Homo-oligomer: A and B are copies of this chain.
């Protein structure tokens, strides 16, 4: 699979992968999209627009070919960088979501299993393997431009931290990220299924704080609430307090969460 992004080198990337697929007698699928225009239209970052578009392509191919398992080549350094990006950017209400070796995703009503078999392998090890076996490869030029925050973390923050702290930060962060992802995934499974449009205050109050946050996050996402961050979730949690004078919390796009008759709902 290759997803063409605009730019000089993406055609060459596509040709390279196509030839590789031919050589190994594998099927080849190609799609292209104007990510810049999409990002402007949907008011997303280039990186988010690119990812959304990529997953839509995966879902389309998955449906057509009845093949619902996608393998992605994220490696250990990607895992560490993504964790730090989420940490430093605030990570929204979900906290430190991470990449997992096996995860599920729903795209356009298609259930897909995403497998990342290289999460435990460092970029250095891959480079070494590639050199040792004389394997031809292409560096994705868009990697350098897609996410300035990722680039700054990769090229400036990581080397600085390792120099100043004098230790292998990468392994430590990798372990913390892996433990945290597994714990988050498990917690998510414990959140009661609250498919109703209205939330019972009584029911929410009985949950521990950690599950309240997860339940509110899940529920807001079901209502298509935009920009759900920690502050919004904490304000909705304040609606649960017995003596709270607050009965309304502002959300983005002129939406509100409101408590009335023992329930919370979005309007």
Contact of A169 among B88, B95, B161, B213 (CB under 8 A): B88
What residues of chain B lie closer than 8 Å to A164, measured between beta carbons? 152, 156-157, 160
Kindly state whether residue A131 has any CB partner on chain B within 8 Å.
no
Kindly state whether residue A209 has any CB partner on chain B within 8 Å.
yes
Interface stretch (choices A31-39, A61-69, A183-191): A183-191
Interface stretch (choices A42-50, A110-118, A171-179, A255-263): A171-179
> Residues of A within 8 Å of B, CB-based: how many?
40
A174 to chain B, nearest CB (A): 9
What residues of chain B lie closer than 8 Å to A87, measured between beta carbons? 87, 172-173, 176
What residues of chain B lie closer than 8 Å to A182, measured between beta carbons? 208-210, 213
Considering the complex, which residues of chain A in the window 184-207 have a beta carbon less than 8 Å from any beta carbon of chain B?
184-187, 189
**B152 and A91: CB pair below 8 A?**
no
Residue of B nearest to A171 (CB): B90
Which residues of A come within 8 Å of B, CB atoms? 86-91, 95-96, 149, 152-153, 156-157, 160-161, 164-165, 167, 169, 171-173, 175-176, 178-180, 182-187, 189, 208-211, 213, 230
9 additional A-B pairs beyond A95-B176, A160-B160, A183-B210, beta carbons within 8 Å, are: A87-B172, A88-B173, A89-B167, A90-B172, A90-B175, A178-B230, A183-B183, A183-B184, A187-B210
